[in-house]
Structure 1
Amino acid sequence: MIKPDMISASGISKSFAKQRVLVDVSFSVASGECIQLLGDNGSGKTTLLRALATLISIDKGSLFIGGHDSQTDKTYIRGKIGFLGHQPLVYSNLTVSENLKFSSSLFQVVNYSKKMPEVLGRVGLSDFKDKRAGMLSHGLMKRVSIARILLQEPEILLLDEPETGLDNQGVSVLQELVKANKSRGGSTIMTTHNPEKARSIADRILILAGGKITPNL
């Protein structure tokens, strides 16, 4: 039996007010594939990732994640996706441990209490576990988001310029996360401005310009 693509987008479009941000975008991502999404500021990269994560709805077209329709199966899809955007997804009034406990309950993480000490150590947050997230630097808050994804072990990673704000340790942990996901047969889409960086780690490059996927010359 042939497995469906992890991600299948066909003719998706998205506008804000009268500005067209995504225009008839079509592509697919196979299991175990790492895609680099390359494009300038304003090309639509962030909007596309947010649509894939079901954080915003599309205006037109079809989008299937793991064989499930993004318009009708949002709850299921969100449990399969690890999203890391420009702004860390943390609750500033909760401690690091409380943030991870809350997200683990949402995603029904098995053996959360056993996994958390090891994950905190991997991302260098063991000494910050009882600190309120709002008191941390941007880079440390981003590590909290990475820890959330490590605990969740999603099938699909959507990473929007993920290295921004991370120090060398954070970048190293992020790279390990992508490699581990690939080894499990998971898929990754990462955005970047840097063509050389994209070519060094991607199985394939998609170029987004003016809201459209362009030929990769």
Structure 2
Amino acid sequence: MNEFDAAFFRRWLAAARAAVDREADHLTELDSAIGDADHGANLKRGFAAVTEVLDKEPPATPGAVLTTAGRQLISTVGGASGPLYGTLLRHTGKALGEAASVTRQDLATALAAGVAAVGQLGGAQVGDKTMLDALVPAAEALGDSFAAARDAAEAGALATVPLRARKGRASYLGERSVGHQDPGATSSALLIAALAEVAAG
């Protein structure tokens, strides 16, 4: 069973930053259809701040990497995405505890705790056309493999297109939210894809 240390988690967040940088315009485009048109810019700023703080003083454990990243996102990102992503990473990090290295199974269990915290914060569930549509299946599939988690997240994001939004800004649009891919589910799928990419080496 492979063990993953703090350096692995820093590489994951660096890869996530690169993915967000690459896709920021696309995320903003999706958000301009059903949100505030700031999702890409907000996440870009947030993940840049995350990698800066992690490079400056690298935390010693996987849990500390994620809790530090989560706190940074909450303090630097406006809109709903900062608190939601911050909660995801902080609670996942807390669930990992003080271990110097963790298994994929440990991470799957911790990620499920992080995802549950996001659901509580936003009062959302799968099918509400939010980031949970990508994150819940990803956390479940992570027990099988990193690639399965990536595929599940991508499928979950695509599955938001025909849904009517029931939470967040998009819910104000009612029927007009149908036919658009949810930006939060899309950025969540990017985060999981970055994890799979780093795990694949």
TM-score calculated relative to the size of structure 1: 0.29
Q: Which has the higher contact order (CA 8 A, sep 6+)?
A: 1
Higher-Rg structure is 1
Q: Which has the higher strand share?
A: 1
